[in-house]
Chain A
Amino acid sequence: MFDKPFQLQIVTPARVAYKDTAVSISAPGVRGGFQVLYNHAPFLSALEIGELKVMKKDGSEIRFATGGGFLEVKDNAVVVLADSVENASDIDVERARDAKERAAGRMQSKDASVDVERARLAMLRALNRLKIAGRS
């Protein structure tokens, strides 16, 4: 089932985070998580904040925390257009915790200039990073 590799690229505005073959990728779609294998139909999905799980040909797995984006499948080439990705092993737990505190503070504040929705998203991203970092 995991024998045929496809091309996978994970790109963000700042860098190319992954460019290689892979046999499987799991992603957090807005309508629920999904997995893409070889010969998937052409597909375009928006992604939520969550975890990207890539399995390479040799069976090793790479996990990324992502802040949302899009995933496109076409002719056995998968492109993830992510707002941000961070390799699970590179996540700075201290920083994520700080970000969480900051976001919590902003959500609590009564200041009208604070964008609560943005604070909430920042909170979700920080929690996601913590969760993924905690598992590795």
Chain B
Amino acid sequence: MATLREVRNRITGVKKTQKITKAMKMVAAAKLRRAQSGVIAARPYAATMKNLLSQLVRSVDTSVNPLLAARDARSIAVIVVTSDRGLCGGFNANLIRTTLQHLGEKYPGVQEEGRLKLFCVGKKGCDFFSKRQYTIAGKYVDVYSDLVFTQAQAISREVVDGFLKGEIDVVEIVYNEFQSVARQNVVFERFLPIQTEIEAVEDAKTVDYLYEPSTVEIVDALLPRHLNFHIWKALLESNAAEQGARMAAMENATENANEMISHLQLVYNKARQAAITKELLELVGGAEALKKAG
């Protein structure tokens, strides 16, 4: 049985840990608010971009821009968006597991045949894949501490470069989508070539725009922006989801610590009671012995 002092020390230890988890939860909550407002601020742009793109893409042929043209999927690249930091529950593990599973189903044998390239955003994903003989084409760590649009542009530029040079035929992006504080959803999206069969827009009537300059030139200008924005959105979503996941994980940890403390307190009380009883017995026994002797 644990001694009284040992139990007491553990209780103090757990209490200290609990203080940390509580603080981390608060920090995550504050960061989550900021991250969420970022996601919301990007929505109008997303909606407009999608509208324009679906309007335009219907009116041009996929051959006008190489970013639209589908090729044989020989070489696959995946942009894996994870977090830089841990202590956010199953956030990263979940995403990595789903990624591998999805790749296995959709492109069987792609890793074994060396046709897979990864662009890793976030330290956790980088660490995982570089330990396991995956080809890492791009590594982007420490992007979340100061999330700016130029980072999304930089990533997008590298991926698009590889695609245009013919080193990659298909690019997918996988990230945690922010659903609610307690829920993240791993989503796979096609990044390149850009899918043109964007779901049929509800209002079927096409507006006859005057284009300036030509449609083709506008498409050329619009597509890179769409790609930049796609990555930007993934970063924003992932960032918000990460803070949500961390908040939930730390909430759980704090609760578990509570449970543990109450359990330890019970053990402590019992041990203390036992010690007192023992001491009493000894006293009484001693007194009896003295009485007999006297």
Chain A residues proximal to chain B, CB less than 8 Å: 9, 11-16, 29-31, 34, 41-46, 69-70, 72, 74, 79, 81, 83-84
Contact = CB atoms under 8 A, between A and B. Distances in A.
A49 to B, nearest CB: 13
Contacts of B217: 30, 46
Contacts of A42: 207-210
Nearest to A41: B210
Nearest to A16: B44
A15 B221 contact: no
Contacts, number: 70
Interface residues of B, number: 27
Interface residue SS majority, chain B: helix
Contact of B218 (A9, A11, A12, A46): A46
Nearest to A47: B221
Interface residue SS majority, chain A: strand
A70 B218 contact: yes
A79 B38 CA distance: 20
Contacts of B44: 9, 11, 16
B63 interface: no
Contacts of B228: 13
Contacts of A84: 149
A70 B232 CA distance: 18
A16 B41 contact: yes
Contact of B52 (A13, A34, A44): A44
B75 to A, nearest CB: 24
Contacts of A9: 44, 48
For B44, B48, B55, B218, which residue has the most chain A Cβ atoms within 10 angstroms?
Answer: B44
